[in-house]
Amino acid sequence: MWKEYYHAAGIYDFDYALQRLAMDPINHVNLKERWVDVPVYLEDDRCVVRVKAEGTTEKPVFSVMSDYDDDQDVIFEHIRNIFQWDRDLQDVQEFFEETDLAMLFFTYAGTPIVRDFHLYNALMKAIIHQQLNMKFAYTLSTRFVQKYGDQVDGAWFYPSPETVAELDYQDLRELQFSQRKAEYVIDTSRLIANGDLDLEKLAKEPSQKVMKELGKVRGVGPWTVQNWLLFALGRENLFPAADIGIQNALKRQWKMEVKPKKDEIEKAAERWSPYQSYAALTLWRSIEG
């Protein structure tokens, strides 16, 4: 067992990050004890890493621990990148204090971008969840992982692209996937397994190129690509104006009778650049629960 401590660069609401992670039944989270177990994929192995809050939002400190004794530096760097601890959220806070969202950021200070644990997992979840209500979306992704993935020390690992590539569409239909969704999940996994879609390489490209290239994949629309950019790559300047939750949050924020239109939202979002993703996360947070 090894254990290391890390101090985040600025304010950081880890308890809220845990609440968001706990929305997904696949994640192994303890809100009371303030920890999450992260499944980590190594080059030739896998391990589970526990990340625990040891401080407060104002003075955030985290412990990172694992029974896996090899590759400690690689593992720690991966965890640090997932939780974006080097991003000083005080800078974001001060930026929004000069905008029309100042009160929202005062109420929900230190809302971080927490990246999904793996690029492939994030894409599969986004494809499965698109155009579904949240409850059924998580039902489907949970069935998918529990049927074809693996559980290690309480933490679930998604199935590999190679495993999913070998499935028949009917296998997912039996989990209540629609025919098209089954095709999108399996066909995309086949592209990745065959080397025709390289997510690691794509992750290094500018957002516009990712939108163009990933958008060519059948069944991967703009919402899915934006979701992957934000939650898989942690891109800071994305604003999904077509998202229903964003529209509802701005309807409340702007005290409107009806939801604002997409072009109206996009124009307003220009004021929140280069931190549009934080605006989106904080707006979502304002209507949760």
* Same domain flag for 221 and 260: no
What are the φ and ψ backbone dihedral angles of 78, each rounded to 5 degrees? -60, -45
Percent of the chain scoring above 90 in pLDDT: 92
* Same domain flag for 147 and 216: yes
Residue 139 is predicted with a pLDDT of 97
Percent of the chain scoring above 70 in pLDDT: 100
CATH code of the domain in which 127 resides = 1.10.340.30
* Same domain flag for 210 and 127: yes
178 occurs within a structural domain: yes
* Same domain flag for 227 and 250: no
* Same domain flag for 81 and 134: no
**Measured distance CA(16)–CA(39) in Å, rounded:** 20
35-41 β-sheet, strand order: 2-7, 61-66, 46-53, 35-41, 28-30
pLDDT digits (tens, 9 = 90+) for 228-248: 999 999 999 999 998 889 999
**Measured distance CA(263)–CA(45) in Å, rounded:** 47
Say if residue 148's pLDDT is above 70.
yes
* Same domain flag for 17 and 72: yes
Average pLDDT over residues 37-51: 94
Residue 1 is predicted with a pLDDT of 86
Catalytic residue among 13, 37, 116, 243: 243
pLDDT digits (tens, 9 = 90+) for 53-96: 999 999 999 999 999 988 899 999 999 999 999 999 999 999 99
Look up 71 and say whether it is catalytic: no
* Same domain flag for 131 and 224: yes
* Same domain flag for 15 and 69: yes
Say if residue 15's pLDDT is above 90.
yes
Give the pTM.
Answer: 0.94
Residue 5 is predicted with a pLDDT of 94
Q: Which of 86, 108, 134 is the last residue of a domain?
A: 86
| Structural domain span for residue 282 | 244-287
Say if residue 215's pLDDT is above 80.
yes
* Same domain flag for 128 and 215: yes
112 occurs within a structural domain: no
71 occurs within a structural domain: yes
Strands annotated E in the chain: 2-7, 28-30, 35-41, 46-53, 61-66, 150-152, 155-157
Which DSSP category does 221 fall into?
A: -
95 occurs within a structural domain: no
Average pLDDT over residues 17-25: 96
* Same domain flag for 133 and 156: yes
Rg of the chain over Cα atoms, rounded to whole angstroms, equals: 19
59 occurs within a structural domain: yes
What is the residue-averaged pLDDT of the chain?
Answer: 95
**Measured distance CA(237)–CA(201) in Å, rounded:** 20
pLDDT digits (tens, 9 = 90+) for 179-208: 999 999 999 999 999 999 999 999 999 999
273 occurs within a structural domain: yes
Residue 159 is predicted with a pLDDT of 97
Say if residue 44's pLDDT is above 90.
no
Pairing type for strands 46-53 and 28-30 reads unpaired
Q: How many domains does the chain have?
A: 3
pLDDT band at 289 (very low <50, low <70, confident <90, very high): low
102 occurs within a structural domain: no
103 occurs within a structural domain: no
